[in-house]
């Protein structure tokens, strides 16, 4: 998942300039209709019962020059009450509403939000990497 402009700035300030940064206490997975981009300009999903969900990650694993973390618990969104379009992106945000975008990326495929669908991210299916 690419880093947002906010995350890039935080990393550089912390690592290269010895400045303290406000570390998020929690990251929330958000679903997006359009690409959030580095500047957080995408359109987030919106349906009755939708809210961002807490994402919990295990420790980094090194693989082929990348450090990778994956979700350690299933992430379950609310049931879609009526057809609500589709989603194509996911993002990690610093708050359940508002907040800052940290990482984002496309889903493996566009996901239709049809009536009765409940978006679920299985354990280990959400990966964030640094290379």
pLDDT at 131: 86
pLDDT at 115: 97
Q: How far is the CA of 63 from the CAs of 26, 40, 127, in angstroms?
A: 25, 29, 12
Phi first, then psi: give them for residue 16, nearest 5 degrees.
-105, -20
Q: How far is the CA of 22 from the CAs of 38, 39, 100, 119, in angstroms?
A: 19, 19, 11, 30
How long, in residues, is the chain?
131
pTM check: above 0.85: yes
> Which helix (H) or strand (E) element contains residue 86?
strand 86-93
Per-block average pLDDT, block size 10, for the chain (131 residues)? 93 95 95 97 96 98 96 98 97 97 96 97 96 86
In this structure, what token pair is assigned to residue 116?
Answer: 């009765």
pLDDT at 6: 94
């Amino acid at each position: 998942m690419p880093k947002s402009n906010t995350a890039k700035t935080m990393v550089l300030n912390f690592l290269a300039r010895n400045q303290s940064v406000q570390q998020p206490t929690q990251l929330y997975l958000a679903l997006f209709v359009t690409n959030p981009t580095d500047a957080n300009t995408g359109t987030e999903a919106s349906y009755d019962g939708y809210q961002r969900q807490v994402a919990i990650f295990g420790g980094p694993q090194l693989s082929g020059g990348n450090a990778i973390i994956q979700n350690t618990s299933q992430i379950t969104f609310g049931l879609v009450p009526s057809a609500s379009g589709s989603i194509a992106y996911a993002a990690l945000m610093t708050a359940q509403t508002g907040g800052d975008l940290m990482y984002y990326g496309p889903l493996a495929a566009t996901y239709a939000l049809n009536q009765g669908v409940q978006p679920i991210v299985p354990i280990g299916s959400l990966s964030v990497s640094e290379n």
